[in-house]
Amino acid sequence: MKYKKGFICGFFDLIHDGHIDILRQAKEQCEYLIVGVGTDEFMKERKGRNSVLTYEQRCTVVKAIRYVDEVVPEEDLDKLAAWKKYQFDVMFAGDDHLKELIYIDATKRLKENGVSTIYIPRRLNISSTKLREKVLKIQRQK
């Protein structure tokens, strides 16, 4: 494996096979994978809504995934602070973040500190938002 310690974050609300796929792809590239799970407060701030599962429930599910070595709280998007705390040598993110200025800046700042960033493509056409929409559509049909 190219990297010793990897880091990836997400909310993992309504966890699905797309989450598993991105975690698998990340783990294939590092010996030890740390997963930051967004807190309930951070989800409300970032997404503008409450999570379906509580932070504790989401952590329990993520910890049970075989590709995950450690789960830590994610309370903001400060990836440099996360690096200082967890000392990873690669950060993974979904390619849906490629054009976000905060990720562009984080990639640059991490690179200045010798940390790689790998954007993983979504290979499966699924997201928690799509699942939420599907559930609402089913509920309306009743």
Give whole-number Cα distances, 36 to 19, 49, 133, 142, in Å: 13, 19, 25, 37
Give whole-number Cα distances, 64 to 29, 32, 92, in Å: 19, 15, 20
Q: pLDDT tens digits, residue range 51-106?
A: 889 999 999 999 999 999 999 999 999 999 999 999 999 999 999 899 999 999 99
User: Side chain identity at 95, as an amino acid letter?
Assistant: D
Question: What is the 8-class DSSP label of residue 121?
Answer: P
Confidence bin at 1 (pLDDT 50/70/90): low
24-33, 105-114, 122-131: segment of lowest average pLDDT: 122-131
Average pLDDT, the chain: 92
Check residue 124 and give its pLDDT: 64
Closest CA to 75 of 102, 47, 43: 43
pLDDT above 90 for 37: yes
**Domain 1-139 class in CATH:** alpha beta
Host H or E run for residue 106: helix 101-112
Check residue 8 and give its pLDDT: 98
Rounded-to-integer distance, Cα 13 and Cα 20, Å: 12
